Amino acid sequence: MDQNDTAPLKPLFLSAKQTAGVLRVSTKSVYRLLERNLLKASPYLRHKLISVASIEAFSRLGIN
């Protein structure tokens, strides 16, 4: 398989700051959503990394 045939990898996780930018909310709001279990972060890392799947699921909820 040729190297030019591979698609670029998409990130699986975003930082709280990146998540805030995607959702157009403050970083503090992202941490509140994590506390309310509306977003899921990786429990294995020192810094909170939020899964892209969790962000997509939250955006489908349509919570304002």
- Per the structure, the count of domains in the chain is 1
Assess if residue 1 is contained within a domain. no
Assess if residue 2 is contained within a domain. no
Mean local confidence (pLDDT), 6-11: 86
pLDDT value at residue 46:
86
Which domain covers residue 52, as residue numbers?
Answer: 11-61
The reply to whether the predicted model has a pTM over 0.95 is no
Assess if residue 23 is contained within a domain. yes
Q: What are the tens digits of pLDDT across the range 14-61?
A: 999 999 999 999 999 999 999 999 999 998 888 899 999 999 999 998
Q: Which residue has the higher pLDDT, 51 or 63?
A: 51
Assess if residue 40 is contained within a domain. yes
Place of tokens 């309310």: 36
Assess if residue 6 is contained within a domain. no
Strand partners, 14: 50
Assess if residue 38 is contained within a domain. yes
pLDDT value at residue 28:
98
- Is 42 strand, coil or helix? coil
